[in-house]
Amino acid sequence: MDLQESVCKKFLNHYYDIPKELPKLPLNDELFVSRWQKADGKDVLRFFTDVLGLAFSDFKWENMEALSISFAETLGGRLPIITTQNHRDLLYMDALLNGREKIREIPPTVNAFTMQTKAKDIFCHRIILMNIAPYSNVPADKIGLGKDEWLILSQKIRLAHEITHYETLRLFGGMKNHPLDEIVADAFGQIAAFGNYNADRQRLFFGLEKGKDTCKGRLSFYTANIPEEEKRKVYLAVNQVLDDVEIEVKKLLSFHEDKIHLLTALAGKSLLERLN
């Protein structure tokens, strides 16, 4: 595939510079986490109104009573998690945390973010926001599982995925919605849920068909700012590299590498380098 100096090439050339020496892990919690600790023992509504000073009444919540707050243990320290029970409430919570009066429309294939809040009084807090739904909106029968089991595994994938984004931010200084970041984060999600990484499973998550340069799913969300004529190159390149990533992850797992070694190996090499 001739990429030359295209936008696609620059997009696929993204990788993380891995520090020669990493600090003692896990890192200490970021300072804002202590404020979220006050959620312990409170329902979400009370915590948001009494502690954070945010008003729920601006939105027509579908299932406010089902909202929950918990904490994730990551290599970058603990991180608050807000969980919703339907996609609409995910959009409302996204707007609330960012101080917006209107929601932004997000496709049903996307049900989680590691986000930086922009609302007043909690500006620049980092949280994981995620919704309970089939991962990447892939039906259970496509995975070969029952609906209930697939929902449970979807949450495992989703949580491990978002944790990985936060870890690249804290350890390597960045977090992007590039194909590399999504492949790396989904790799840890797949390992958490299934114990391995499967390229065809990843194609389902991305909305790709093997050997084709089209996309009918989640990967299209991350290429929204890529010129239309370049998108097909991105889709084909990602499609081609997934089988190699499967071999790479299988080899790393066979060596019983710990998480930080897996993360540095996967995040420190661009997709373009893997294609070459």
pLDDT digits (tens, 9 = 90+) for 140-186: 999 999 999 999 999 999 999 999 999 999 999 999 888 999 999 99
* Residues 218, 132 within the same domain: no
Considering the domain architecture, whether residues 207 and 115 belong to the same structural domain is answered as no
Band of residue 61 on the pLDDT scale cut at 50, 70, 90? very high
Question: Which of the listed residues 173, 190, 220 is the one where a domain comes to its end?
Answer: 173
**H/E/C letters for each residue in the chain?**
CCCCCCHHHHHHCCCCCCCCCCCCCCCCCCCCHHHHHHHCCCCHHHHHHHHCCCCCCCCCCCCHHHCEEEEECCCCCCEEEEEECCHHHHHHHHHHHCCCCCCCCCCCCCCEEEEECCCCCCCCCEEEEEECCCHHHCCHHHHCCCHHHHHHHHHHHHHHHHHHHHHHHHHHCCCCCCHHHHHHHHHHHHHHHHCCCCHHHHHHHHCECCCCCCECCCHHHHCCCCCHHHHHHHHHHHHHHHHHHHHHHHHHHHCCCCHHHHHHHHHCCCHHHHHC
The residue from 173, 199, 226 where one domain ends is 173
Q: What is the reported pTM?
A: 0.95
164 shares its domain with 179:
no
Q: Is residue 237 domain-shared with residue 157, that is, in the same domain?
A: no
Same domain, 96 and 233: no
Same domain, 197 and 108: no
**93 and 124, same domain (yes or no):** yes
Residues 29-48 pLDDT 10s: 999 999 999 997 788 888 99
Residues 168 and 190 in one domain: no
The number of domains in the chain is 2
End-of-domain residue from the set 122, 155, 173: 173
Residues 201 and 169 grouped into a single domain: no
**Quick one: 156 and 216 in the same domain?**
no
Range of the domain at 102: 25-173
Whether residues 113 and 192 fall in one domain: no
